[in-house]
Amino acid sequence: MNRRIDVNAPEPSDSATPDKTPSKHFIRQAIDADLEAGRFDGVATRFPPEPNGYLHIGHAKSICLNFGLAKDMGGTCNLRFDDTNPVKEDTEYVESIQDDVRWLGFEWDNLHFASDYFDQLYDWAEQLVKDGKAYVCDLNAEETRAYRGTLTEPGKDSPHRDRTPEENLELLRAMKAGKFKDGEKTLRAKIDMAAPNINLRDPVMYRITHVPHHRTGDKWCIYPMYDWAHGQSDSLEKITFSICTLEFEHHRPLYNWYCENLGIHHPRQIEFARLNMTFTVMSKRKLLQLVKENHVTGWDDPRMPTLVGLRRRGYTPESIRAFCADIGVAKFNSTIDVIRLENSVREHLNSVASRRMAVLNPIKLTITNWPEGKVEKMNAINNPEDESAGSREIPFSGELYIETEDFREEAPRKFFRLKKGGSVRLRSGYIVDCHDVVKDDDGNVTEVLCTYDPETKSGEDTSGRKVKGTIHWVSREHARKVTVRNYDRLFKVENPDASSDTGSFLDHLNPDSLTTLTAHVEPSLAEAAVGDRVQFERLGYYVVDPDSTDGELVFNRIVPLRDTWGKIEAKGKK
């Protein structure tokens, strides 16, 4: 069972032990130790996305961690775009990332771009060349890989490794001036081609790319590699703790080498495990494939793990922050059950979402002893978890809709909903007794005939009757028709990436990840606005989709009330 989490948690900085005493994760412990030792005099972090795609739930963990540490410790957190690859970057992504960070509830202290530092990075590159610590190499990409060696075999020196600093400086300036073609030359750090860590085997610092940049235009035709730009950007911004995901652990020695050999401010890089989640893919390449091949409707498809997708699905920023706090910060990679994300939004919406009645798969219920033409207003509580939410009135008449699944002509003993010869309470209404049904020519029940007990009105019951079941309903005359999109998990297996040699993650797409139907809802929902979240009683949580118009509301299912997948999996294991 998942422990109860604080839905208002602003960031995943600390987790709570059973005695409610905060315990500090390993990153917080490392920061405390550095501050106590006097290595740094404060906390300055940053979130440095590349503007080449939309952020996903994995990025949310990093956002909450970096911004949360800064907030907890009275420090600062910058938003910096690592815009060093003009081929893949676009201002569309810059704007969406800023929107996502703000939506999650955070505000950066400073907004920066790696391109802000292109001039300084180039000057530092010339410094390393003059010091004999960098050289211009003529090997192409394939040759560079061949010379690099393997994890078990050392690399070979480039034929151009021993060029003089003067020759290298002249060539570097010619690269900058645009005198060479793409890929014709690179600038490489001169470290150690026999280093056990392949990242130290003379890594490329600059490559030639004759592509306009979204901010600098045609000023540059050489662009810094990530490892060259990353640490130096941290240094220029006086970042103290560079928090990265675990795949950068083996890049840390290079991060340190650049800072040490330039003699500049040296932040500390600390790595943590990235977020992997069941029934989900996080790879940008795979997410892009889903979009381009029309397996989803776009980056904001409610089945996508992108933040824009989760937002459209109806997830709240509070629930995502609570999820990040719940899963904590670890040193080793693991896979988090998506149920924990789903439970976080269930828990938050349970406390804040208004209750409304909606019938998705209707069958007509006629009350045969109801006074003809009478319409009665029933009082219904908006949210039993929030007394301040008040109540509303719902019209009740002699012809209703109930869920087809809530009626059985012949039912098993433990079926506590409505059956022929049985009784049930209508939520916020009366107890009804079923005495007959109407069938079509094929023998299918099309109408349920009941009588109501006038002494059993909810809140005013004087009958003393007790029934085991309560079901929801809407008045047939007053109900509004809406479109409902019942979203489910995009993949039908826990690990879509674990495909066979000849297969693909696409083989695991869930064909039932979206079901669209027309539902009947209580009339108060006619005034619902885009983004409004409600609980359809006994069914699940729903949000009004941006596709809604004045004439037609569209509701997306956020999550059902309970984890139906858990039941499916449990049956499969029996």
Distance CA 316, CA 7 (A): 10
CA-wise closest residue to 198 among 252, 162, 155 = 155
| Size (the chain), residues | 574
186-189 and 204-208: which strand pairing?
Answer: antiparallel
Check 24, 173, 284, 340 and give the catalytic one: 284
Distance CA 246, CA 407 (A): 53
The reply to whether 334 sits in an annotated binding site is: no
Distance CA 557, CA 513 (A): 11
The reply to whether 284 sits in an annotated binding site is: yes
* DSSP-assigned beta bridge partners for residue 559: 541
> Is 573 a known active-site residue?
no
Domain ranges of the chain: 14-110+237-279+307-347, 117-226, 353-573
Q: Which residues of the chain have pLDDT under 70?
A: 1-22, 499-502, 563-574
Amino acid 12: pLDDT: 35
Amino acid 458: pLDDT: 95
422-451 pLDDT per residue, tens: 999 999 999 999 999 999 999 999 999 999
Distance CA 430, CA 397 (A): 11
Query: What spatial distance separates the first Cα and last Cα of the chain, rounded to whole Å?
Result: 20
For residue 482, give both structure tokens. Answer: 């809406």
The CATH code of domain 117-226 reads: 3.90.800.10
Amino acid 22: pLDDT: 56
229-262 pLDDT per residue, tens: 999 999 999 999 999 999 999 999 999 999 999 9
Quickly list DSSP for 469-495: -EE--EETTT-EEEEEEEE--SBSSS-
Check 50, 126, 376, 393 and give the catalytic one: 50
> Is 420 a known active-site residue?
no
Amino acid 348: pLDDT: 98
The reply to whether 62 sits in an annotated binding site is: yes
Map residue 516 onto helix, strand or coil: strand
445-452 and 362-367: which strand pairing?
Answer: parallel
The reply to whether 117 sits in an annotated binding site is: no
Amino acid 572: pLDDT: 54
Amino acid 15: pLDDT: 38
The reply to whether 161 sits in an annotated binding site is: no
Amino acid 501: pLDDT: 60
For residue 141, how many C-alpha atoms fall within 13 Å in the half-sphere facing its CB?
A: 5
Distance CA 203, CA 209 (A): 17
CB 419 within 8 A of CB 408: yes
CATH number for domain 14-110+237-279+307-347, candidates 2.40.50.100, 3.40.50.620, 1.20.140.10, 3.20.20.70 = 3.40.50.620
514-521 and 358-359: which strand pairing?
Answer: antiparallel
User: Would the CATH topology of 117-226 be identical to that of 353-573?
Assistant: no
Amino acid 140: pLDDT: 95
Distance CA 15, CA 22 (A): 6
Amino acid 213: pLDDT: 94
CATH second-level architecture of 353-573?
Answer: Beta Barrel (2.40)
The reply to whether 277 sits in an annotated binding site is: no
Check 24, 274, 427, 492 and give the catalytic one: 274
Amino acid 567: pLDDT: 54
Angle between helices 317-327 and 57-72 (to 10 degrees): 80
470-471 and 276-277: which strand pairing?
Answer: unpaired
Confirm whether pTM is higher than 0.95: no
Alpha carbon of 323 to those of 7, 79, 461, 557: distances in Å?
8, 22, 42, 19
The reply to whether 59 sits in an annotated binding site is: yes
The reply to whether 421 sits in an annotated binding site is: no
Angle between helices 26-37 and 57-72 (to 10 degrees): 30
CA-wise closest residue to 378 among 424, 428, 425 = 428
> Is 385 a known active-site residue?
no
The reply to whether 61 sits in an annotated binding site is: yes
Amino acid 23: pLDDT: 75
Alpha carbon of 356 to those of 316, 331, 391, 432: distances in Å?
19, 44, 11, 21
The reply to whether 233 sits in an annotated binding site is: no
